[in-house]
Structure 1
Amino acid sequence: ARHELEESDGDPITIAVHPSGDCFVCSTTNGGCKLFELYGQETHLQLSTKELPPLLDAGPQKCLAFSVDGSRFAAGGVDGRLRILEWPTLRIIVDEVRAHKSFRDMDFSLDSEFLASTSTDGSARIWKTEDGVPLMTLARNSDEKIELCRFSKDGTKPFLFCTVQRGDKAVTAVYDMSTWNKIGHKRLLGKPASVMSVSLDGKYLALGSKDGDICVVEVKKMEISHWNKRLHLGTSIASLEFCPSQRVVLTTSSQWGAMVTKLNVPADWKGIHLFLSLSNYFTLTRVRVSEWQIYLLLLGLFLASAVVFYIFFEKSDSFWNFPIAREQTRRNIDSFLGDAQSDDPNVFGPLDM
C-alpha cells in the first residue's frame, strides 16, 4: 500500500502502529497527526486516512506510542505537551501542557498502567494512564541525563530500563517498578544510544548507537549476546524493532535505509511460549504474580492432565487394560511375567555392559 502526503503536511516524523496491525498514526513536520487504516486483501492492501480531532493542530509530535493492549494512545510534542487518549474513542485522559521541556522518548508498561517519558533536559517522569496523574520524577544525579526508556516485557520482572548519560560515559540503568528506585546500572553499548527496544518475550534488550552500531543484551544476565559494529556506518540508527516470531531485528537509518539482521543468540525452547502466554495473561489482567507461582500453575496443569489420563486408563477397555477371563488362573500370569519368588539372580540372562 502507498500513500502520498500532501505538500502542506510536510515530512513524516514519528509513526506508531496499533498492536492489532490494522492502523497506525503518523506525525508530520507541518501538520498534526493522521490515522492511517489498512483494508483489503493481503495482495492488494489500501490505505485510508482519517483526522484525529484531539491532535488536529497539535504541531509536530516527537513521540507516539500505543499501549500493549491497544486501549491507550500517547503523544509527546516537541513543545513538551503530553496527551493520553483512550482508544478508539479518543477520549482525552491527559492533556498536560508543561509535561516536559521537550519530549525525547516514551513507553507504556506491559499492563498499560504506567507511562514513562523522558525530556531533552535529562529528566524522566512516570504517569498513571488511568487518570493521568503524574506519579513521580525519577531520581538522578546533577551530572546525569536520562535519555531513553523501555519497560520490561516478560511478565515476571517489573523493571524500567533507561539509558543514562554521565558526562562522556553512557550506561544503562534499571529501575524497580515497585519503588521506582534505581537498583543498578551497567555499561553496555559504551557510547550514546539513539534508540532502544525490548523483544516481545522480554528476554532481550537492544540498543542502537548514534554512529550505526547495535548491541543485543540478554536481560536475565545483563550481558551482551550480539554485537554489530558499523551496521549503519557513520549514521544514527533511527528505529530498531524485534521480529515477533524469530530472533531477527529490523533497523533503519536515513543514509542506509532498512536492514534485517539475524541475531547470534541461542534458539528458544518452544515450550516457553506457553509460559510467556500465561505470564503475559496475568500481567495484562493486572494480577500480580511472582515467577514461582507461574511454575506452580504449570505443575498443577501437568498433575491435572495425569489424573485425567489415569481415570481414562481405568475406565477404558484398551489393549493395556484388557479384562482377565474367569477361567484364567493366577499361575498363567505368573508364568508370563516370571516367578516373583524365584531365587535365580540371572532371570533375565547375562547383560552386556
Structure 2
Amino acid sequence: MARDGAEAAVGKVTCAAWIQRRNDEGLGPRLLVAFGRGATASSPPLLDLLAFDAKASALDPEPLARVEMGDEGADAARAIAVHPGGRELVCATAKGCRLYKIVYQEFGFRVISTDASALESVGPQKCLAFSTDGVKFATGGEDGRLRVFHWPSLNVILDEPKAHKSFFDMDISLDSEFLVSTSTDGSARIWNIVEGAPLVNLTRSSYEKIEHCRFSRDGTKPFFNWKRIGYKRLSAKPISTLSVSLDGKYLALGNRDGDFCVVDVKKMEISHRSQKVHLGSPISSIEFCPTERVVISTSHKWGAEITKLDVPADWKVWQLWLVLAILFAASAILFYMFFKYAKLNL
C-alpha cells in the first residue's frame, strides 16, 4: 500500500484514475496516475500527474506535473475520466467539467487546461465515462440529466434532461452502442446510444435497489449490485463501488467498511481479499491498472491506496513467444529424427 504523502501541505486525494499512454516510445513513463486533490488552508485544489513503478507496485513520491484547478473548494475534482488514448482527461467538479490535455515537452510533462464550454456549463456531475473506442463521452448529473457527446467535437448525441431523479452510476458497453445507468432512487435503465433513446427499464421488486452497474468486458452481460444479487452473492457487506478489469477477468467490489475483494469472473469466486485498506471509511472508487494486477482505491478519509493483487500472474507476450519458439524447435528436432530414422531403414 502507498499512503498519500505530504498531505499537511496539500489536500487529500479525492479521486484517481490510471493513464496508459500509447505510441510514445522514449517519451517518459507510459503508465501514470492522475490524482484530484481537495483544497486546504494553505493549498488550492490540485490535479497531480504521477509515474507508476510497475516493478515496485508503487507511485513515485513527487508528481511529474501539477496544476491548480481553481481558488475554491468547489473547483476540486470529484471524478476523473481518462480518454483511452491517454492524452486527455475530464474532471468533474461542483461547478461543471474541466478538460485537460497531457503533453510531453522538453523531457517533462505538462497538464494543460483546455477550453470546452460544452462541458464547463453542465453543472455538477456524478458520473463520467468514455467509450472504449474513445469516440463517445457521457456524463450523468446530480440533476438526473444524461448527456452523450461525440469526441472530440463535443457534438451532442443524446441529451435526456429527465433520465433519472439523480445519477448514481453509469457505464458504456464494450461495443460503445449501449449505456447502463442507475439512479439514487434505485431504478436502472439501459440506453441505445446510437438511436439516442432508452432501450429498457430494468425491473425490480419494491424492496430492491439497483446501485452499481458495469458491463462485462466481453460484452455479454452487465454486472449489477443491488440488495439481492440475482446471480450470486459475492459479498456479505454493503458494496460501495464496483469495477471490472480491462481484460474482463476480474471484478472488484469495494465496501463501506474500507475492505475490498476481487472476484474471478469466470468462476464467480473470490480470488483476493484486502481488509482495512481504508479503515472504517467507505471506498468511493476502485480501478484496475491497465497492465498489472494492481488496483488503486480511494476514500474521502484516507485518500488513495495502491494494492497489489494476490491473483495468478498473466502470461507476458514474450513468454508466449518463447513457448511457441520452444514448441517449434522441438517439432523440428522430432521431424529431423523421424526423417533420419526413416532414411536409415530404407
Structure 2 length normalisation: TM-score? 0.72
Residues in 1 aligned to 2:319 and 2:164: alpha-carbon distance in whole angstroms: 39
Equivalent pair of 1:205/1:218 in contact (CA under 8 Å): yes
CA RMSD of aligned residues (A): 2.7
Match in the other structure for 2:40: none
Equivalent pair of 2:70/2:76 in contact (CA under 8 Å): no
Match in the other structure for 2:30: none
Letter in 2 for 1:161: F
- Give identity over the alignment, percent: 55
Match in the other structure for 2:86: 21
Match in the other structure for 1:12: 77
Secondary structure class of the residue paired with 1:35: strand
**Greater relative contact order (Cα 8 A, min sep 6): structure 1 or 2?**
2
Higher helix share: 1
Equivalent pair of 1:212/1:231 in contact (CA under 8 Å): yes
Residues in 1 aligned to 2:297 and 2:257: alpha-carbon distance in whole angstroms: 13
Residues in 1 aligned to 2:117 and 2:212: alpha-carbon distance in whole angstroms: 29
Letter in 2 for 1:246: E
2:227 to 165, 168, 173: 165
1:10 and 1:271, CA in 2 relative to 1: closer, same or farther beyond 3 A? closer
Q: CA deviation at 1:266?
A: 1.6
Whether 2:128 is the aligned partner of 1:64: answer yes
1:335 and 1:4, CA in 2 relative to 1: closer, same or farther beyond 3 A? closer
Residues in 1 aligned to 2:189 and 2:318: alpha-carbon distance in whole angstroms: 33
- Summarize the alignment of residues 61-210 of structure 1 with structure 2, pairs less than 5 Å apart: 61-153=125-217, 155=218, 158-166=220-228, 171=229, 173=230, 185-210=231-256
Q: CA deviation at 1:20?
A: 0.8
Whether 2:344 is the aligned partner of 1:337: answer yes
Residues in 2 aligned to 1:38 and 1:221: alpha-carbon distance in whole angstroms: 39
Q: CA deviation at 1:41?
A: 3.9
Equivalent pair of 2:256/2:283 in contact (CA under 8 Å): yes
Residues in 2 aligned to 1:47 and 1:195: alpha-carbon distance in whole angstroms: 28
Equivalent pair of 1:81/1:100 in contact (CA under 8 Å): yes
Residues in 1 aligned to 2:342 and 2:131: alpha-carbon distance in whole angstroms: 69
Match in the other structure for 1:294: none
Residues in 2 aligned to 1:217 and 1:336: alpha-carbon distance in whole angstroms: 56
What are the Cα deviations for residues 99-141 of structure 1, in whole angstroms up to 9, with x where unaligned? 0000000001011110000000000111111131111111111
1:237 to 276, 283, 293: 283
Select the structure of larger CA radius of gyration: 1
Q: CA deviation at 1:244?
A: 1.5
Residues in 1 aligned to 2:342 and 2:291: alpha-carbon distance in whole angstroms: 56
1:116 and 1:334, CA in 2 relative to 1: closer, same or farther beyond 3 A? closer
Letter in 2 for 1:164: W
Q: Which runs of 4+ in 1 moved over 6 A?
A: 271-274, 333-336
Equivalent pair of 1:33/1:51 in contact (CA under 8 Å): no
1:5 and 1:133, CA in 2 relative to 1: closer, same or farther beyond 3 A? same
Secondary structure class of the residue paired with 1:231: coil
Secondary structure class of the residue paired with 2:81: strand
What are the Cα deviations for residues 234-259 of structure 1, in whole angstroms up to 9, with x where unaligned? 01112211112221111122222222
- Summarize the alignment of residues 40-55 of structure 1 with structure 2, pairs less than 5 Å apart: 40-41=104-105, 43-55=107-119
Letter in 2 for 1:159: K
Equivalent pair of 1:26/1:35 in contact (CA under 8 Å): yes
1:257 and 1:335, CA in 2 relative to 1: closer, same or farther beyond 3 A? closer
Equivalent pair of 1:85/1:93 in contact (CA under 8 Å): yes
How many aligned positions are there? 268
1:161 and 1:334, CA in 2 relative to 1: closer, same or farther beyond 3 A? closer
Residues in 2 aligned to 1:123 and 1:271: alpha-carbon distance in whole angstroms: 43
Secondary structure class of the residue paired with 1:111: coil
Q: CA deviation at 1:335?
A: 11
1:64 and 1:165, CA in 2 relative to 1: closer, same or farther beyond 3 A? same
Structure 1 length normalisation: TM-score? 0.70
Match in the other structure for 2:264: 218
Secondary structure class of the residue paired with 2:118: helix
Equivalent pair of 1:13/1:60 in contact (CA under 8 Å): no
Match in the other structure for 1:286: none
Residues in 2 aligned to 1:225 and 1:74: alpha-carbon distance in whole angstroms: 32
Residues in 1 aligned to 2:167 and 2:236: alpha-carbon distance in whole angstroms: 24
1:228 to 269, 274, 284: 274
Letter in 1 for 2:158: V
Residues in 1 aligned to 2:317 and 2:97: alpha-carbon distance in whole angstroms: 41
1:43 and 1:97, CA in 2 relative to 1: closer, same or farther beyond 3 A? same
Match in the other structure for 1:250: 296
Q: CA deviation at 1:158?
A: 0.5
Letter in 2 for 1:81: R
Secondary structure class of the residue paired with 1:144: coil
Q: CA deviation at 1:273?
A: 11
1:235 and 1:273, CA in 2 relative to 1: closer, same or farther beyond 3 A? farther
Residues in 2 aligned to 1:101 and 1:94: alpha-carbon distance in whole angstroms: 17
What are the Cα deviations for residues 5-48 of structure 1, in whole angstroms up to 9, with x where unaligned? 2225532212111111101111111x211100011249521111
